[in-house]
Amino acid sequence: MSVFDDLMKNVTDLTENVARKSTAAIETQKLKMRKTSLESDMRDCYVVLGRLYEKQLAAGADPESEEGKALERLSQIRISIGEIQESLKKQKGVVTCPSCGRDVSKGYEFCPKCGTPLKKKGSASAEKAAAEDTAAADSSENVAGENTAGENNN
Ligand SMILES: [Zn+2]
């Protein structure tokens, strides 16, 4: 075999090697994506199961149990999310129709859905007071939760 042949063989080996490696990398990437997708499906299943379990628990969970604490935490989170939604609406100037609950952009004097006159004042104050009552009724864990929710409010 000539030196040139040797050289060509080496180049061919190298090319094949690179091709093999990139095929392996693509396979790895495919597997990783498949795993991520399945993990996402699994989370969706947990969400469905969790919601069903929450309904079952809601009536009679021991507040000191892990489930009871998670339920309490969920209700705090819902309140925080509600407050954030209200803040976002206020920032956008959206008002909620007191009659049908539709969100209406500012500038409307009457609800376009049901015709109820819309006042300039926000209707969120009563809900917020109720939320604060519930929040104040429990421990420092809830305060931490509210802070977390607040940080996500952009
Ligand atoms: Zn309305």
So what's the pLDDT on residue 93? 87
| 101-142 tens-digit pLDDT | 898 888 888 999 999 998 754 444 444 444 444 444 444 444
Measure 118 CA to ligand 1 centroid, in angstroms: 9
Ligand 1 centroid to Cα of residue 95, in Å, is 10
Model pLDDT for residues 58-74, shown as the tens digit of each residue: 778 888 899 889 999 99
The confidence score (pLDDT) of residue 77 equals 96
How confident is the model over 91-109, as a mean pLDDT? 88
Q: Residue 85 C-alpha to ligand 1 middle, in angstroms?
A: 18
Residue 115 vs residue 143, higher pLDDT: 115
Protein residues placing their CB within 5 Å of the ion ligand 1: 97, 99-100, 102, 111, 113-114, 116
pLDDT in tens, 22-80: 888 999 999 999 999 999 999 999 999 999 998 888 778 888 899 889 999 999 999 99
pLDDT of residue 20: 85
Over the chain, what is the mean pLDDT? 79
Distances, alpha carbon 1 to alpha carbons 7, 13, 15, 16, in Å: 10, 16, 20, 20
What is the CB neighbour count within 10 angstroms for residue 95?
A: 23
DSSP result, 43-96: HHHHHHHHHHHHHHHHTT--TTSHHHHHHHHHHHHHHHHHHHHHHHHHHHT-EE
pTM: 0.46
CA of 130 to the centre of ligand 1 (A): 23
Q: Which amino acid is at 11?
A: V
Residue 11 gets the label, from left (phi > 0), alpha (psi -120 to 50) or beta, of: alpha
CA of 116 to the centre of ligand 1 (A): 5
Q: How is residue 85 written in tokens? A: 């939604």
Cα–Cα dist 136/88, whole Å: 23
CA of 131 to the centre of ligand 1 (A): 24
Distance 77 CA to ligand 1 centre (A): 27
Angle at 90 between CA 78 and CA 98, to 5 degrees: 75
Distance of alpha carbon 148 from the chain centroid: 13
